[in-house]
Amino acid sequence: MGRLLRYSIVLMLMISLHYILTWTHHRYWEATSFGLSKFTAHFQEEYTSEDHIKEEPANELANATYVMLVRNSDLDGAISSIRALEDRFNSRFGYPYVFLNDEPFSEEFKRRISVLTPSKVEFGTIPKEHWSQPDWIDEKKASKARQQMVATNVKYGGSVAYRNMCRFNSGFFYRHELLQPYKWYWRIEPNVKFFCDIHQDPFKYMEENNKTYGFTIAVYEIPATIPSLWPAVREFIDDHPEYIAEDNAMGFISQNNGLTYNRCHFWSNFEIADMDFWRGPAYSAFFEFLDSTGGFYYERWGDAAIHSIGASLFLKREQIHFFEEIGYQHDDWYHCPRPDAIWTKGRCSCSQRGSFDYNHESSCKPHWDRFITS
């Protein structure tokens, strides 16, 4: 073989190898062409731009916002939640925030929250009619029920404010004017934790996979807070068979095809969901009916159970999504990704063994798993 031919073959091999590496490893590509050509650029600029390159292309945002209901006095907790979310996800995406309060936000609150993120941040006050016990509620009956719950140590049993909050979250938050421009929301609370880097945009995931409601933790409701909820739900089902989805998730909330409620619900302090579902005819009729029974005040119905029952009845089961990769803590319970690959990729700071998912006394996740694989 002639020397020239040998050189040509070697050269062609090297060129092919270069192209293969370029296609398969963007780090290699950066180091050879991109990195070199930018070597003389300002170091700071190069650093920041490289930081953003390729891992998650800054593609278009979904029609989405975070929403946090919060008091002025919860400023520190709100800062801590936002800081974690920015660090683990949002600083690379830039979704906006809406903060809601039953009282006007203080200047201090607005200032100290706004400084945390370059994203758009809005602060709204909730109209009184979305946050008060309706006139037609029999206050004597309601206060008797509250006293009874205080006497039996039911959490928040004596609080009217908590009931207003639960009713607001059940049927009003998505009607607030600041949320009208959006379809998707991610609910956050003060003092929650996010343990893992979130690489994939959860809103986009929902959009692209036809999901409507996403959760991370599922728990049992306290029986004393909902004695008449299930009978009311059954009445609604009987009156409105047209709203019940085919292939729904009744199997998650009832073991006997709807005869009784097993008290399982998605924990609503974390939700990534489609507000147009709550705004739609099925859930709207459902909320109006439940509200008309007075159960938010004569008992202490929670928005988590109401949302979960609505989602389980009016959605197909595959429209409900469990976010394995979002490590998340609210109060004492947390979800930590179980698969090692997800935990490692997310650089999660939580213990997989301490994850609430398989706490068989309190978690409804085993139940969800059984249902969704059945």
Ligand X SMILES: *[C@@H]1O[C@H](CO)[C@@H](O)[C@H](O)[C@H]1NC(C)=O
Ligand Y SMILES: Nc1nc2c(ncn2[C@@H]2O[C@H](COP(=O)(O)OP(=O)(O)O)[C@@H](O)[C@H]2O)c(=O)[nH]1
List the catalytic residues. 271
Q: Which does 216 bind (CB under 5 to 8 A by kind): Mg ion, ligand Y, ligand X, none?
A: none
Q: Which does 74 bind (CB under 5 to 8 A by kind): Mg ion, ligand Y, ligand X, none?
A: ligand Y
Q: Shortest approach of ligand X to residue 359 CB, angstroms?
A: 32
Q: Shortest approach of ligand Y to residue 164 CB, angstroms?
A: 7
Any contact of residue 324 with Mg ion (CB under 5 A)?
Answer: no
Any contact of residue 182 with ligand X (CB under 6 A)?
Answer: yes
CA distances from 108 to 206, 223, 248 (A): 35, 40, 46
Q: How many CA atoms lie within 13 A of 21 on its CB side?
A: 13
Q: Shortest approach of ligand Y to residue 165 CB, angstroms?
A: 4
Distance separating alpha carbons of residues 278 and 284, to the nearest angstrom: 6
Any contact of residue 122 with Mg ion (CB under 5 A)?
Answer: no
Token pair for residue 252? 């998650």
Question: Which of 189, 207, 324, 369 touches Mg ion (CB under 5 A)?
Answer: 189
Any contact of residue 317 with ligand X (CB under 6 A)?
Answer: no
Contact 221, 304 (CB under 8 A): yes
CA distances from 231 to 128, 247, 333 (A): 30, 22, 30
Between 230 and 287, name the residue whose CB sits nearer to ligand X. 287
Q: Which does 63 bind (CB under 5 to 8 A by kind): Mg ion, ligand Y, ligand X, none?
A: ligand X
Contact 305, 235 (CB under 8 A): no
Any contact of residue 63 with ligand X (CB under 6 A)?
Answer: yes
Any contact of residue 176 with ligand X (CB under 6 A)?
Answer: no
Distance separating alpha carbons of residues 259 and 263, to the nearest angstrom: 12
Distance separating alpha carbons of residues 214 and 203, to the nearest angstrom: 10
Question: Which of 163, 167, 183, 317 touches ligand X (CB under 6 A)?
Answer: 183
- Phi-psi sector, 306: left (phi>0), alpha (psi -120 to 50), beta: alpha
Question: Which of 102, 207, 276, 324 touches ligand X (CB under 6 A)?
Answer: 276
Between 71 and 175, name the residue whose CB sits nearer to ligand X. 175
Distance separating alpha carbons of residues 176 and 100, to the nearest angstrom: 9
Contact 69, 168 (CB under 8 A): yes
Binding pattern for the stretch 244-283 against Mg ion, x by CB under 5 A and - elsewhere: -------------------------x--------------
Site residues for ligand Y per CB under 6 A:
69-71, 74, 101-102, 161, 165, 189-190, 269
* Structural Rg of the chain based on CA atoms: 25
Q: Which residues bind Mg ion (CB under 5 A)?
A: 189, 269
Q: Which residues bind ligand X (CB under 6 A)?
A: 63, 181-183, 209-210, 276
